Amino acid sequence: MEHLWAPWRNSYVSGDQKKPADLFFQIGQSADDEANLVVRRGKSCYVMLNRFPYNAGHALVVPYRPVAELAQLADHETAELWQTVTLTVSALKKAFAPQGFNIGINLGACAGAGLPDHLHVHVVPRWHDDVNFMTATAGTRVHPSELEKIYTQLVATFAAENR
């Protein structure tokens, strides 16, 4: 029998890890992109990797300004948000060659928003046969690559795109 150990997830699943009042605002203001897994910065939004991803390469596109609703975004913020989603899909395609994507926003706590006062767009790459029994029966996700390697590759892909 094989065992899969993921002790780093314990503080997340147990609820012991306390989130600051506005984690995304703090990350947006921080200069430590590597520690915060920020892979790209724009004028009104940034892209970061999800530290507890649904799938390898799970990225979040986040406005710097904390807003809970899409209607609260200024026109230029809305435009850049969706342009950045498009750039993120392109970078993930080039870096990891997924066959599809799930893209979405959870608005409000009842819709699953973990930080309901700061909207963000999930960009989740998908591959054929990327789901298995582990999630359904063990409540565990198995990722084929390390988060740090995904971060490094995605930063390089975004940098190459900006040349």
How high is the pLDDT of residue 123? 97
How far is C-alpha 120 from the chain's CA centre? 9
Contact 13, 140 (CB under 8 A): no
Q: Return the structure tokens found at 103.
A: 């893209």
Band (pLDDT 50/70/90 cuts) for residue 161 is: confident
Measured CA to CA, the distance from residue 132 to residue 119 in angstroms comes to 30
Contact yes or no for 131/90 (Cβ under 8 A): no
Are 121 and 61 within 8 A, CB to CB?
Answer: yes
Amino acid letter, residue 111: A
Q: Catalytic residue, from 3, 76, 118, 120: name it.
A: 120
Lowest mean pLDDT among 9-13, 106-110, 153-157: 9-13
Confidence (pLDDT) at 16: 64
- Which stretch of DSSP H or E encloses residue 95? helix 75-96
CATH of domain 19-161: 3.30.428.10
Confidence label for 11 from pLDDT (cuts 50, 70 and 90):
low
**Mean pLDDT, rounded, of the chain:** 86
Active site residue 58: no
Under the banding of pLDDT at 50, 70 and 90, the label for residue 4 is low
With contact defined as beta carbons under 8 Å apart, do 33 and 135 qualify? no
**Domain regions of the chain by residue span:** 19-161
| pLDDT number for residue 127 | 87
Cα–Cα distance, 65 to 135 (Å, whole number) = 34
Residue-wise pLDDT for 112-123, tens only, equals 888 889 999 999
Q: Which has the closest alpha carbon to 152: 81, 83, 50, 49?
A: 49
Span 64-93, average pLDDT: 97
